[in-house]
Amino acid sequence: MRIVPVELGDRSYEVVVGDGARHELARVVAECVPGARRSAVVTQEGIGVEVDPGVPVDVFTVPDGESAKTLHVVEELCRGFARSGLSRADVVVAVGGGVVTDVAGFAAASFHRGTAYVNVATSLLAQVDAAIGGKTGVNLPEGKNLVGAFWQPKAVLCDTGVLATLPPREWASGNGEVAKYALLGIGTDIGGPPTADLPIDEQVARCAAIKASVVSADEREGDRRMLLNYGHTLGHALEASAFDDDASDLRHGEAVAVGLVFAALLAHRLGRIDDARVAHHRNVVGAFDLAWALPSGNDPGRLLSFMARDKKAQGDITFVLDGPDGVEVVHGVDATDVVATLADMESAAPRGPA
């Protein structure tokens, strides 16, 4: 097992990475939530990962996909917690991917104004990103993750053994976030950025270590933590734009992959990086077998409206962009440059190394 610490003073916790990590749950609950007498396991139909918190369990299922990330679902969870007799001294256990950890974490943050929770991450996306760092929340029709709370888990268990059953599209979704960490260029004590040729345990551990280092320095996204949104400004806009389109089928990491290449092209248009750096972004995204073409049928004006509502924005259009000093937050990007770069995306090759 690899242990990655998230250093947050008296709220510090461990990310446990490895085949069979979920079997550490009873130990974690006993050590980190010693007053727990009951547990609420939040999961989805079809996840099929059994856990033993070491205390009596009530199981709650939420809908599949982004449709679970609503205030209504959070209300239903909290009402279920109340009916089951869950107290503030007990524990919520999220078993699933990023949707489950986001929704269950927000419900835990809200119930009794804060109930302990543990994430058992079962998807690559959750293991490398979503389950770590305490950002919980749900969507509104107006945008992604606009309602939520910072609420740190007591532990995160990343059982890489369960990834063997992931469908190819879920691998792609997780790989979008791994590619993001590769392009951020941040190293840690356990090694440099992840690469596509590393064993999966090492990829997960390196991503977790990068996120842990950023979260430890900036828990509530004052500045540095915004770097973790690299590729997400357009990525979230693509997802939000697709909420009312039943024909759309775009996973989070797939949208991020598009957003990463878009961010490189935008940085190039603004004179921040050269052609070689743009090619590097395409090569990294291609190495993880991800497409980066802009999906057809998107209206630039609609995408711009979603980008303007992004959490990083301060009354302007804000992006995380590469530059001479590395990746950083850039405020006040001109809308005409964004629209022109969207046009560049439409004429670019759809996939693979440059």
Domains of the chain: 2-166+190-217 (3.40.50.1970), 230-347 (1.20.1090.10)
Per residue in 123-145, pLDDT (tens digit) is 999 999 999 999 999 999 888 88
The H-assigned helical ranges of the chain are 25-32, 71-84, 98-110, 124-125, 168-184, 200-217, 232-241, 252-269, 275-287, 300-308, 335-347
CA distance 318 to 298: 20
Q: What pTM does this model have?
A: 0.91
Burial of 11-42, coded b for 16+ CB within 10 Å and e otherwise, reads eebbbbbbeebbebbeebbeebbeebebbbbb
Spatial contact of 130 and 144, defined as CB atoms under 8 Å apart: no
Per residue in 247-269, pLDDT (tens digit) is 457 889 999 999 999 999 999 99
Provide the pLDDT for residue 354.
Answer: 43
Per residue in 141-173, pLDDT (tens digit) is 888 889 999 999 999 999 999 999 999 999 999
pLDDT bucket at 330, cuts 50 / 70 / 90: very high
Q: What is the mean pLDDT of residues 75-81?
A: 98
CA distance 6 to 112: 25
pLDDT at 352 over 60: no
CA distance 18 to 161: 7
Per residue in 27-43, pLDDT (tens digit) is 999 999 999 999 999 99
Q: pLDDT over 90 for what percent of the chain?
A: 81
Catalytic residue set:
113, 135, 177, 211, 221, 225, 229, 232, 236, 252
CA 78 to chain centre: 23
Q: What is the mean pLDDT of residues 86-100?
A: 97
pLDDT at 296 over 60: yes
CA distance 174 to 132: 14
Cα dihedral: 28, 213, 120, 45 (round 10): 160
pLDDT bucket at 348, cuts 50 / 70 / 90: low
Provide the pLDDT for residue 308.
Answer: 86
Closest CA to 261 of 194, 347, 139, 145: 347
Q: What amino acid is encoded at 209 in this protein?
A: A
CA 26 to chain centre: 25
Q: What is the mean pLDDT of residues 6-12?
A: 96
pLDDT bucket at 245, cuts 50 / 70 / 90: low
Handedness of CA 265, 271, 272, 274 (dihedral sign): positive
Cα dihedral: 266, 270, 276, 279 (round 10): 10
CA distance 301 to 233: 14
SS3 state at 283: helix
Name the least confident of 6-10, 122-126, 217-221, 257-261.
217-221
Here the tokens at position 30 are 């006993």
